[in-house]
Structure 1
């Protein structure tokens, strides 16, 4: 005889959801994730409460629904719906070091194998609440397994590879080389985490692993694989905490903030950026400038013009203190091309057309000097949108064509999304020949 699922009953009560409403939310979440074949009703939920176990991916979707309702991450295990799958475990910031190592290793293997469950894993807006809090507070036990000791030379080799893969991301886009990096991590880096290390080697190894895991997440984010990206970023934050490298942890939170705001959760993006800034305590001017810039992006999305402009000003103040000779390698991209590009989009979103155009042009100039096509494409799109706000379709079309040209040089879904956003902004101009021309050229890019 089946045992009633008292855990699920308790969580439904805590979330204030009836069986029918819970079923409706699951169905809606499944459809949003592209799984329209999934259908649930109140009767199905009643059977779960009686002890029946739903098939995958229903437990994970149910956990997402409850998590969104209560405001923090809840797993399918918490709901009594079976062991949490790998894609769910990788959303958790685990206090146990051994569990963390196995989680990030499982995530890397699933990514390389292109397993369907990971590709379909959704972005979970509330999943960062616990990790960002624990990053500020936690100090963890160290439990390496027996085996050959890791040497500093091993760590140096890992860090040398980071610079190569970061260059691939910056100049070719996140869709280029990510699976090669994931395979490298699975074979050469994550196994090192299981071996014993001296304290100084351990911190250096965790720092190197955190950098590369962050880069995996960032490249997935740039390629539009947001569920995968979020999971890598959370595990990178855990590794950064283990390394005791505060600027690196703040940098990871910046990436998480950027993603949350982009996906329509600016309140979460704001909280993450502020958490990183408070934890940073001024130890990296580059990271501080980035966090202020992303705080501005979130505030602009929330409609807070005064706060957004103030954040841009604070970012500029911090940027004046950046000395890249003293900054870590992961901070090299936080430069005028990047910062001016972010400020351009912030000011555009709060209606400061002239200020946005100035920052966009400065970003474009720096990106051109560095041959950074992705950043150039994003800033050209921002410039084009400021022209549209001033009803100057000809200038917008010209900047749009430059956006298309640059976007075609990189494998980046963000660049393609910037083109799509520009198309949408042109819609008020109706069937104008320049609108039609841009739409046709954009269609060729998106098809490719």
Structure 2
């Protein structure tokens, strides 16, 4: 990193050393200096930083060791993170960042009910008001490593009781006024049940059609529920509303993740964890942490994924149902596979299978874990062994473990979707068809690889899931390099280009 003094225009005035970290990321990106300058200017305009005017000479000076002023380090972090599909921090680029407040980082937030409600209300309102690209252009950034894990650990730390202003107002009112307050809030038992039922319906629609179709509807519902939490409520109703808030915020995060809005997804997940704590629902909090762990696996942050899943297991070990425990063990296996640790991965797979064998035996599972079926268990464990095979250089041992599990998952999802064509877990079916294609790819089996990918593409066209589309494109880009001019592969490439063209968002990744 170059040692420089930064002047008002972002220029260094002392002797600089070349920024080797930035140079490495830049070289691998394939961008020219002019293209990077254009992207920085475009993102700066989205941020409202109209004074930023970058050109090729400025990019060259950054590579030579000049330290740019904010918001350029943050912009560069966002651009390289999107380009490589993983978290590329400001420090990873050899740059220095200005200290950020908790509100800017979006992670280290106060663990208190009134602040949680206010933050979710404000964040969901901004999401509804701003367009897709505009929302990406806010000051929100991804957090990883200690900056992510340490604040999340406070989920389990008892916090001093913050005054429940809404509950206090309700308690202080006379009986007639309390009854009127309940009528104003409109929170009868049937209406609370309707809120819970609508959340369940949103969850089913997401599994059926992907996150892109109804994400804003979920965000709107979340905003409305936080409005209700700012009114006078009794303690039982308050906890129930916080549980609904946590589920909706988690779902908004999951849908954002599905369409490629990674910083937005992480912020919703963090807010969902805060709401789950206010609801005193540790299994729900563990479920939220599992989604955060899955996002870290997707971004190639295996150590962060493992920390999050262990935090989830520790926090819910006495309250989670066997089905929830099985899901957490399966994700633990995925994290170990990402890190290339076979013995620990094997152990976690066995624990997941053992826990799932106990599922449904007198335990009442919450609706949010209902998705974790036998097909999902097979799929998670298959992907763990597939990832181990990849890390171990196409190991036939791990491929032989992945193949039957992935085939069982695909068969079960196919049956489910055939039995309910208008519902079912269509996205999971598509993802596991792609997973099966990757198993064939690692096994150097061109024809079955193309067949599975073709089937997945038929489903992808009916989904609104950038995650499915990108996974299919990346799998097939690798297939093209591995198989070359095999007719089935060439035909699939032509079809993919014609029927599933790359979107503007995916081109940025």
Aligned match of 2:395:
none
Q: Cα distance 1:202–1:365, how it changes in 2: closer, same or farther (>3 A)?
A: same
Structure 1 portions without partners, runs of 5+: 1-17, 49-53
3-state SS, counterpart of residue 40 of structure 2: coil
- CA distance in 2 between partners of 1:212 and 1:166 (Å): 9
What does residue range 18-167 of structure 1 map to in structure 2 within 5 Å?
Answer: 35-37=39-41, 78-79=99-100, 88=104, 90-115=106-131, 116=133, 118-120=135-137, 121-126=140-145, 127-139=147-159, 140-145=161-166, 146=169, 148-149=181-182, 151=187, 153=189, 154-167=191-204
Distance in 1 (CA, whole Å) between partners of 2:67 and 2:455 is 56
Residue of 318, 333, 356 corresponding to 1:296: 333
Measured in 2, the distance between the counterparts of 1:175 and 1:296 equals 29
Query: In 1, distance between residues paired with 2:401 and 2:474?
Result: 20
Query: More displaced, 191-200 or 206-215?
Result: 191-200
- 1:447 paired to 2:501: yes
Q: CA deviation at 1:268?
A: 0.5
- Per the alignment, residue 178 of structure 2 pairs with none
Tell me the equivalent position of 2:298. 262
Local SS of the residue matching 1:217: helix
C-alpha displacement of 1:366: 1.9
Query: What secondary structure does 1:233 align onto?
Result: helix
Q: Which of 421, 426, 430 matches 2:484?
A: 430
When structure 1 is superposed on structure 2, of 302-311 and 207-216 the one drifting more is 302-311
Residue 11 of structure 2 corresponds to which residue in structure 1? none
Q: Corresponding residue for 1:15?
A: none
The runs of at least 4 consecutive aligned structure 1 residues that moved more than 4 Å come to: 18-25, 31-35, 38-48, 56-70
- CA distance in structure 1 between the aligned counterparts of 2:254 and 2:487, rounded to whole angstroms: 37
Structure 1 residue corresponding to 2:416, chosen from 370, 374, 384: 370
Deviation at 1:168, TM superposition (A): 0.7
Q: CA deviation at 1:20?
A: 8.8
Residue 369 of structure 1 and its aligned partner are, at CA, apart by: 2.4
Tell me which structure has the larger Cα radius of gyration: 2
Distance change (3 Å), C-alpha of 1:124 and 1:432 = same
Against the structure 1 CA distance between its residues 396 and 58, is the aligned structure 2 distance closer, same or farther, given a 3 Å change threshold?
closer
What's the offset of the Cα at 1:212? Answer: 0.8
CA distance in 1, matches of 2:415, 2:450: 23
Q: Is the 8 A contact 1:144 1:197 kept in 2?
A: no
- The superposition leaves residues 376-419 of structure 1 with CA deviations (integer Å, 9 ceiling, x where unpaired) of 11111111121222222111111111111122221112211221
| Selected match of 1:348 from 386, 395, 398 | 386
Contact 1:340/1:359 (<8 A) preserved: yes
Q: Deviation string for 1:34-74 (max 9, x for gaps)?
A: 943366878999997xxxxx5x576787999998759xxx9
Where in structure 2 are the equivalents of 1:399-438 lying within 5 Å? 399-426=452-479, 427-438=481-492
Pairwise CA distance, 1:184: 2.1
- With structure 2 as the length reference, what TM-score do the two structures score? 0.73
What does residue range 271-286 of structure 1 map to in structure 2 within 5 Å?
A: 271-282=307-318, 283-286=320-323
- Shift in alpha-carbon separation, 1:247–1:47, aligned structure 2, 3 A: closer
CA–CA distance in structure 1, aligned partners of residues 378 and 226 of structure 2: 36
**Distance in 2 (alpha carbons) for counterparts of 1:132 and 1:353:** 35
* Shift in alpha-carbon separation, 1:368–1:229, aligned structure 2, 3 A: same
Matched residues in 2 for 1:134 and 1:175: separation?
A: 32
Q: Distance in 2 between matches of 1:159 and 1:99?
A: 23
Q: Is the 8 A contact 1:380 1:399 kept in 2?
A: yes
Stretch of structure 1 that moved more, 368-377 or 230-239:
368-377
Change in 2 beyond 3 A, CA 1:23/1:376: closer
Equivalent-residue separation in structure 2 for 1:132 and 1:169 (angstroms): 26
**Cα offsets for 1:248-293 (capped at 9, x unmatched):** 0000000000001101111101111111011111422222111111
In structure 2, relative to structure 1, the CA distance for the partners of 1:23 and 1:144 (3 Å cut) is farther
Residues 71-124 of structure 1: per-residue CA shift (max 9 Å, x gap): xxx996x45xxx77x6x2533332233222221111101211235453244432
Alpha-carbon RMSD: 3.5
Contact 2:105–2:141 under 8 Å retained in 1: no
The CA deviation string for residues 113-136 of structure 1, in whole angstroms up to 9 with x for no partner, is 235453244432235313420111
Report which stretch shifted further, 395-404 or 209-218.
395-404
1:21 to 1:421, Cα distance in 2 relative to 1, 3 A: closer
Q: Give the number of equivalent residue pairs.
A: 415
Structure 2 runs not aligned, ≥5 long: 1-15, 30-34, 42-53, 82-86, 171-180, 390-397, 418-424, 503-509
